[in-house]
């Protein structure tokens, strides 16, 4: 049985070029970047070169990039720092953010007694911009807005430039969980002036366990981890040299081939949408996941006209890997908090599956998946 992987929003396979580079680094560049001898200096030089390369991809300076163990740590570092170090007393977000943000907000609210407000979202998962503006107007507290640029379950793309203007007008800081963006879209942080953003290498064919946080210049950083003075004092812990180099290479490959990858993936996705609607006209697509421009080309969230608790399991038994929501909660019996927020009780009771694609997804894999899905109708 051939396996079919359609859960790329959860993680992607590592690019062979990245594996090769990391293997060479493991063999030849194993020094501790904090050591002053030649082995340490060599490792430090490689890490700083990667930092500059990554910063250049987003049109920022290397000093604004802090390496972390992934997107979750980066979100935590930014949100915690905003409250503890930057004086933020109020955070505005939505209830359809990734749990890396939502659970962190819960913790900050309990620990530091900050105010947390949630922007309304409609049945498509789009935020209510008028409601956001009203929330920004009606407070004198120092405020941070935290909204993900691409939703990891329903694929909606945030109207980020409008929100940047709004936050600037009301002097609010802006953080975005951009994990589903990096490596799939070009992002110039001079043109899209986010104050903070995050990345996780394994979402764009890099290794797991490494990512970065972007802090716009001028915002000091207090660490959450205490020990050494790595990352200019922002994060104590020996840098993951091989992971950082792998992330740099994966980002370079992804962005250099971004239009080619987008065209190929979009063709696959639109074919899948067309064939699914032929399969049953009652199949629906959650959020903006089926939209060409308002949803990401990598995610399709499908709502079937029935409730089958075994569908995910049966697809897995057939060698087809998909998700009912984010990978972080796939083992939970609670279901998707995103879909519960935007769908009616009847709609959310039907089975929804997130299919997510990469440059390695083939039409043959889609055809095989469609054949299997036909068995459930």
Q: pLDDT digits over 248-275, tens only? A: 999 999 999 999 999 999 999 999 999 9
**Contact criterion met (CB below 8 Å) for 338 and 154:** yes
> Does 330 have pLDDT greater than 50?
no
The per-residue pLDDT for range 43-63, each reduced to its tens digit, is: 999 999 999 999 999 999 999
Residues, the chain:
377
**Phi-psi label, residue 185: left if phi above 0, alpha if psi -120 to 50, beta otherwise:** beta
Q: 302: domain CATH number? A: 3.90.1150.10
CA distance linking residue 247 with residue 205, whole number of Å: 8
Confidence of residue 325 (pLDDT cuts 50, 70, 90): low
CA distance linking residue 204 with residue 202, whole number of Å: 5
Same domain, yes or no: 252 and 273: no
pLDDT for residue 307: 95
Percentage of the chain lying above the pLDDT 70 cut: 97
Same domain, yes or no: 188 and 334: no
Last residue of a domain, one of 209, 228, 256: 256
Same domain, yes or no: 167 and 205: yes
Same domain, yes or no: 355 and 218: no
Q: 189: domain CATH number? A: 3.40.640.10
Phi and psi at residue 259, to the nearest 5° = -70, -40
Mean confidence (pLDDT) of the chain = 95
Last residue of a domain, one of 256, 272, 304: 256
CA distance linking residue 76 with residue 103, whole number of Å: 9
Instruction: Please indicate whether residue 167 is annotated as part of the active site.
Output: no
pLDDT for residue 1: 66
Confidence of residue 329 (pLDDT cuts 50, 70, 90): very low
Last residue of a domain, one of 225, 256, 287: 256
Catalytic residue among 62, 224, 327, 328: 328
Same domain, yes or no: 177 and 266: no
Same domain, yes or no: 136 and 269: no
Same domain, yes or no: 209 and 349: no
Same domain, yes or no: 168 and 27: yes
Same domain, yes or no: 235 and 262: no
Q: Give the mean model confidence (pLDDT) for residues 96-116.
A: 98
Same domain, yes or no: 224 and 348: no
Same domain, yes or no: 117 and 94: yes
* Exposed / middle / buried, residue 234 (Cβ in 10 Å: 0-12, 13-18, 19+): buried
Q: What is the pTM of this model?
A: 0.95
Phi and psi at residue 25, to the nearest 5° = -70, -40
> Does 228 have pLDDT greater than 90?
no
Confidence of residue 220 (pLDDT cuts 50, 70, 90): confident
Total structural domains in the chain?
Answer: 2
Q: In what order do the strands lie in the sheet with 299-303?
A: 284-285, 299-303, 352-356
Same domain, yes or no: 81 and 107: yes
Structural domain that includes position 31? 17-256
Q: Give the mean model confidence (pLDDT) for residues 210-234.
A: 91
CA distance linking residue 45 with residue 51, whole number of Å: 10
Q: For residue 111, what are its two tokens?
A: 């620990």
């Amino acid at each position: 049985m051939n396996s079919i992987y359609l859960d790329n929003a959860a993680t992607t396979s590592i690019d062979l070029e990245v594996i090769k580079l990391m293997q060479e680094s493991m063999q030849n560049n194993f020094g501790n970047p904090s050591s002053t001898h030649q082995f340490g200096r060599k490792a430090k030089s490689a890490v700083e070169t990667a930092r500059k390369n990554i910063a250049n991809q987003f049109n920022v300076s290397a000093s604004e990039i802090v390496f972390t163990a992934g997107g979750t740590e980066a979100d935590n570092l930014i949100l915690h720092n905003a409250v503890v170090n930057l004086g933020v007393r109020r955070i505005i977000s939505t209830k359809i953010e990734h749990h890396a943000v939502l659970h962190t907000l819960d913790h900050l609210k309990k620990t530091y007694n900050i105010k947390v407000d949630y922007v309304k979202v409609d049945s498509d998962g789009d935020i209510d911009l008028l409601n956001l503006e009203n929330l920004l107007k009606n407070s004198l507290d120092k405020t941070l807005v935290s909204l993900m640029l691409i939703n990891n379950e329903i694929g909606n793309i945030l109207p980020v430039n409008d929100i940047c203007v709004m936050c600037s007008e009301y002097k609010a800081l802006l953080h975005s969980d951009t994990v589903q963006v990096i490596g799939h879209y070009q992002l110039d942080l001079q043109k899209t002036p986010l104050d903070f953003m995050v990345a996780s290498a394994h979402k764009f064919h890099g290794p797991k366990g490494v990512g970065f946080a972007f802090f716009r210049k001028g915002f000091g950083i207090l660490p959450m981890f205490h020990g050494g003075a790595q990352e200019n004092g922002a994060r104590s812990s020996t840098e993951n040299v091989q992971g950082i180099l792998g992330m740099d290479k994966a980002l370079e490959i992804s962005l250099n081939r971004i239009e080619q990858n987008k065209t190929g993936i979009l063709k696959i996705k639109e074919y899948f949408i067309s064939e699914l609607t032929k399969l049953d006209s009652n199949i629906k697509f959650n959020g903006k996941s089926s939209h060409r421009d308002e949803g990401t080309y990598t995610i399709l969230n499908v709502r079937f006209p029935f409730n089958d608790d075994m569908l995910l399991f049966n697809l897995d038994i057939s060698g087809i890997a998909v998700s009912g929501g984010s990978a972080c909660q796939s083992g939970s019996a609670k279901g998707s908090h995103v879909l519960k927020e935007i769908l009616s009780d009847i709609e959310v009771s039907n089975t929804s599956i997130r299919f997510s694609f990469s440059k390695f997804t083939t039409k043959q894999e889609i055809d095989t998946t469609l054949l299997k899905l036909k068995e459930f109708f």
